Amino acid sequence: MTNYVPSCPALLACFSGAILIASIGGVSAEEAGGAQNSEELLSAVNSSLEQSVRSYLEIGRTHWDPGETIRGRAVVSPIGAVDVAAGRLKGNWEKMAAALAALAKKDAAYSVVIAIYDDAGKKPIWTAQQPIDPEPLAKASRELVPDDTIFTHIDPPATARFKIPGDRLKPGTKYRMTIAFRDPQGREHSFSDGSTPETGIPVIVRTTPLDLEKLRIPSRVTDSAHLLRTAEEIANPGKRRFPADNPDDCQARSVWCLRAYQGRVYVGFGDWAKNRGPIPLWSFAADDDPQLAARYGRYAFAAVENPRILFTQEYLTQEHSIERYHVWGDRLVLPGIDGLKEAGPMESLSPTATFARRDTGESSAASRGPCT
């Protein structure tokens, strides 16, 4: 039984079986509880979106020709910082769908709002909004089969494409683009990325169209007198560290970089995505020193003939991959990409750099420290 008292603010209650229902000011307790529940759901969804860890705008570039249409897309993740801390990486679209279903309005919806402000940032000169439908996104999230990638363990982001007419933007003017969202009650909220009329993505409209012909520099390319028409396989030192003929080892022993230094060529390989370190640092050169192979012993091997190539292991890096080398003066520098946690400074995953120096007839590792 439900009691309605349209004209009386008094609290009436009736008990029927095990159900206690009250009404205040003409609204039943059941309806009041439903309204409160929908408000709580909306508040939770709004909070997650306001703290969204991955909501942003994408456009192709900063500078545009006068009258050129600007195309881009908005990306909105329902996962907030609090959700990440609590491990709620899925189910956020479900929560939004439940909040919308709890509302009495059939056309209630969340929407992403894109706006363009002039450099003064006082009033938007162009705005657009597109609704966010959580139902297909919730379905897509449920159907994602978790694997080794992080994206299968989280709610997929919503994307909305937009198009800004070129005739709305004045030539020779700088603008800012912002992204926000509007809740079903019509209130606009900002995301936590700091996208404001003063800090949004810059959009600059040129005074005149870009003339590419004026930017082109005349050039001439001449082929070498001696063209290499064949390639010969020498050896892959990474195969000693990763010998299996499976996808993981084939990926890890792939050569990512080569660098000439003090008469030798240094090889980089590894796999930081799957943490395959530590990675040995190998170099090679012509085998013209009879004592070099003996000095390195089992840390050296020879390959091919005419000329004979000698590979030597110089150092064992505490990294999961070697992606590039740099030469600074008389030093060969290996910028760290993914250091071993157990070998890093203070057991952290902070970036590191390995410095290796090869002196005449000897090789030595100098130091491993923070990379700035």
DSSP string covering 328-361 = ETTEEEEE-SSB-GGGSGGG----EEEEEEEETT
As a whole number of angstroms, the distance between CA 148 and CA 329 comes to 41
So what's the pLDDT on residue 343?
A: 60
Indicate the residue type of 287: D
So what's the pLDDT on residue 112?
A: 94
Q: For residue range 239-271, what is the model confidence (pLDDT) as tens digits? A: 999 999 999 999 999 999 999 999 999 999 999
Q: Buried b vs exposed e over 226-247: b needs ≥16 C-beta within 10 Å?
A: eeeeeeeeebbbbeebbeeeee
So what's the pLDDT on residue 232?
A: 83
- What's the Cα-to-Cα distance from 286 to each of 47, 71, 260, 296, rounded to whole Å? 64, 55, 13, 15
So what's the pLDDT on residue 13?
A: 27
As a whole number of angstroms, the distance between CA 39 and CA 241 comes to 59
So what's the pLDDT on residue 342?
A: 67
The pair phi, psi for residue 200, each rounded to 5°, is -65, 175
So what's the pLDDT on residue 24?
A: 22
Indicate the residue type of 162: F
Are the C-beta atoms of 285 and 258 separated by less than 8 Å? no
Helices (H) and strands (E) in the chain — how many of each? 8, 21
As a whole number of angstroms, the distance between CA 133 and CA 78 comes to 12
Which segments within 155-297 are labelled E, that is strand?
Answer: 158-164, 173-182, 188-190, 201-205, 257-261, 264-268, 279-286
Q: Which residues, given as ranges, of the chain have pLDDT below 50? A: 1-36, 345-372
Helix (H, G, I), strand (E, B) or coil at 74: strand
Quote the distance between the C-alpha of residue 8 and its chain's center. Answer: 58
Quote the distance between the C-alpha of residue 334 and its chain's center. Answer: 24
Name the segment(s) of the chain with CATH classification 2.60.40.2550. 51-209
| CATH 2.60.40.2550 for the 51-209 domain, yes or no | yes
The pair phi, psi for residue 131, each rounded to 5°, is -70, 150
So what's the pLDDT on residue 349?
A: 37
Indicate the residue type of 152: T
H-state helical runs in the chain: 29-50, 81-86, 92-101, 134-143, 212-215, 238-241, 247-252, 292-296
Q: For residue range 99-111, what is the model confidence (pLDDT) as tens digits? A: 888 887 777 889 9
As a whole number of angstroms, the distance between CA 119 and CA 202 comes to 9
